[in-house]
Amino acid sequence: MDLPAPPTNHPRTLSSIILSRRRADGGARINKCSASQRLLSPPPLPSHHSLLRLRPDRERPAVARSSAVSAPPLVPPMTTPAPNPTIRRLDVASPVPADIDIANAVEPLHIADIAAELGVPPEHYDLYGKYKAKVLLSVLDKLQGQQDGYYVVVGGITPTPLGEGKSTTTVGLCQALGAFLDKKVVTCVRQPSQGPTFGIKGGAAGGGYSQVIPMDEFNLHMTGDIHAITAANNLLAAAIDTRIFHEASQSDKALFNRLCPPNKEGKRRFADVMLRRLIKLGISKTDPDELTPEEVRRFARLDIDPASITWRRVMDVNDRFLRKITVGQGPEEKGMVRETGFDISVASEIMAVLALTTSLADMRERLGRMVIGNSKAGEPVTADDLGLGGALTVLMKDAIHPTLMQTLEGTPVLVHAGPFANIAHGNSSIVADKIALKLVGKGGFVVTEAGFGADIGTEKFMDIKCRYSGLTPQCAIIVATIRALKMHGGGPDVVAGKPLDHAYVSENVALVEAGCVNLAKHISNTKGYGVNVVVAINKFATDTDAEMEVVKKAAMTAGAFDAVVCSHHAHGGKGAVDLGVAVQRACESQAEPLKFLYPLDSSIKEKIESIAKFYGASGVEYSEQIEMYTKQGFSNLPICMAKTQYSFSHVPSMKGAPSDFVLPIRDVRASIGAGFIYPLVGTMSTMPGLPTRPCFYEIDIDTTTGKVMGLS
């Protein structure tokens, strides 16, 4: 979709940002001035080559760049001042500079400006510096009567280890809708884990000219939500082992006296959280002194079976050596040694609770009913049984509020929660989506990303997230790349950190055509939910027109609503305008109700088999623990499969659309607080490891300017 060129004498607003690679003989520079000023023509350039940011009060080179390629024309041209005062228009360089260079070259608007344009009053957000703000859940009360906007989820085909650009597509689409199609739009994405940021994949702010900024703040710590989850998770882990220790060394009476100590007047009282345990035990008494010895024993002794404990400690880095550890080896914990391990923080059930909760009160209930293991009698033991539900909620009280940020082109972003899709449910939070849908209102768009391929991220979005939120998407996007389709068509292995094989950087229509079986399977599966499916072909510089035509034809044959080639990485929002138009049409024409993959009242095995069939499996091998969870009354929960993201099957090397395989369920765990059962498929690990050459080799800081370098 071409945009009209402006008259040559038309002034450009100084809120525009011009990003380009510098030439010695002339070109554009980066400019940002106040809205009241106008720039009639680019100022003269210095003789050196650099990517610059100019502000009214100073000029400073940001990053030295090569001058091998001349600066392109302004992209996109502005015919009139942007209708939204926060919108920035980008000029782009070719080849595209590094992500961090582009992000550092743009001075973000103060987040108060983004909030004002979005319609969030100051009393409904808390500032976290100049470029981030926590949007308070109270804004939902203000917007209660507002009609929801359109709801769009972005998934993808089965990816290579390099990723296929779902985050970039999500951001680029929103820049197109907001900066070019004049739609009210909010991007809803997850907070990145430091595991992949310093490991293989890098950050998750998008890339090229479609990014969330400030990119370094987005990828590193942000507002501390993951740290709050880590602290809460590990407090619960400490409480579990400590309770076992104290119960092993004390009589019933001594244990009870310490749990309910008398005050100075000799009076005992139950803490509020203890009353929850009494109700669970069927004890109606509220005075500790009225309990019988048997009731004292039942109340005071959790009698946790160490072998049944499923709660593990977490940390937000990839550390393979913590996958299996022993605890209790100190001389004062003699005889208390047990085997356990660490998960990555984003795999914690507390992260899933944050993503699926609908209010502070709901989060308190979910955290309290998290099951950490069983008693020796086979009864589930919860966080509230350990007296911890309230304390966990206090640690999470700020994390429940989504974080407002912005894209390179000035459109708003809500960042919240960060569960992986391969070892958790892989979607940003319900509360962020609900706030965003009200803020954009009728005719606006909320675009949210589901992790990894549509077989896991989009499936969990539909069958878990949408069940709990009650929200219905109108459109599902499947991001595809020529590179990944060639891999699924029989191309050589794609290995992170190694140069791509020649097959991936030269035309091979037959390989692409063979790989489209993977795309077709994802389209068919996603259409089954009753949504319109739009395929976004994320274009790389080495892709050819013939290859992309094959993908478009295969997508439409498989039942896609539309298939669109996108260049948002290279051109920002302008490169996703056609995708934005297709998504708008898909949303406006969607009429079917949301259809889930399985009913909740079917058995755990039946639900697992429905998902296995969705993958293409012919059968399932089960774990014995399914029967235990059924007996405990948890069979009515949805299923969250922990499975490799690199194949429809459990074997990463099985590419394309494999069928007739048997899906092995190695273990089954229950996230009762979050509200799902999660089977571990094959050898899936919940603590990733670092590669030989992690991303952290490239990351450093400019000690003069304080700017982060090398982050991707």
* Confidence band, pLDDT 50/70/90 cuts, at residue 91: confident
Model pLDDT, residue 47: 31
Cα distance between residue 602 and residue 461, in whole Å? 19
Residues facing 188 on adjacent strands: 414, 448
* Confidence band, pLDDT 50/70/90 cuts, at residue 438: very high
**At the fourth CATH level, which superfamily is domain 99-223+398-588?**
P-loop containing nucleotide triphosphate hydrolases (3.40.50.300)
b (16+ CB within 10 A) / e for 538-573: bbbeebeeebbebbbebbeebebbbbbbbbbbbbbb
More confident residue, 67 or 459: 459
| From 168-182, 256-270, 309-323, 673-687, the region with the lowest mean pLDDT | 673-687
pLDDT of 70 higher than 90: no
Domain 226-393 fold is Domain 2, N(10)-formyltetrahydrofolate synthetase (3.30.1510)
Average pLDDT, rounded, for the chain: 87
Structure tokens at 205: 């702010």
User: What letter would DSSP give residue 346?
Assistant: G
* Confidence band, pLDDT 50/70/90 cuts, at residue 166: very high
> Whole-model pTM?
0.86
Model pLDDT, residue 50: 32
Backbone angles phi, psi at 257, to 5 degrees: -65, -35
pLDDT of 661 higher than 70: yes
| Average pLDDT value for residue range 526-533 | 97
**At the fourth CATH level, which superfamily is domain 604-680?**
Formyltetrahydrofolate synthetase, domain 3 (3.10.410.10)
pLDDT digits 0-9 by tens, 380-428:
999 999 999 999 999 999 999 999 999 999 999 999 998 877 778 889 9
For residue 335, count other CB atoms closer than 10 A to its CB. Answer: 8
Model pLDDT, residue 31: 34
Model pLDDT, residue 83: 58
Considering 87-91, 343-347, 581-585, the range whose residues carry the highest mean pLDDT is 581-585
DSSP 589-642: H--SPP--SS-TTS-HHHHHHHHHHHHT-SEEE--THHHHHHHTT-TTS-B--B
Cα distance between residue 465 and residue 357, in whole Å? 10
Q: Which long-range contacts (CB under 8 A, 24 or more apart) does 335-342 make?
A: 335/248, 336/241, 336/244, 336/245, 336/248, 338/241, 338/306, 338/309, 340/309, 340/312, 340/313, 341/312, 341/313, 341/687, 342/312, 342/313, 342/314, 342/315, 342/687
| Average pLDDT value for residue range 90-94 | 90
Asked whether this chain's domains 99-223+398-588 and 604-680 adopt the same fold, the reply is no
> How many whole angstroms from its chain centre is CA 470?
19
CB 405 within 8 A of CB 135: no
pLDDT of 3 higher than 50: no
Model pLDDT, residue 8: 37
Count CA atoms within 13 Å of residue 126 on its CB side: 11
| Average pLDDT value for residue range 26-35 | 33
Model pLDDT, residue 204: 79
pLDDT digits 0-9 by tens, 148-165:
999 999 999 999 988 899
User: How many helices (H) and strands (E) in the chain?
Assistant: 23, 30
Model pLDDT, residue 710: 83
By C-alpha distance, which of 172, 694, 174, 251 is closest to 412? 174
Cα distance between residue 65 and residue 29, in whole Å? 13
Structure tokens at 389: 């539900």
| Average pLDDT value for residue range 495-523 | 94
Can you give the residue ranges of every domain in the chain?
99-223+398-588, 226-393, 604-680
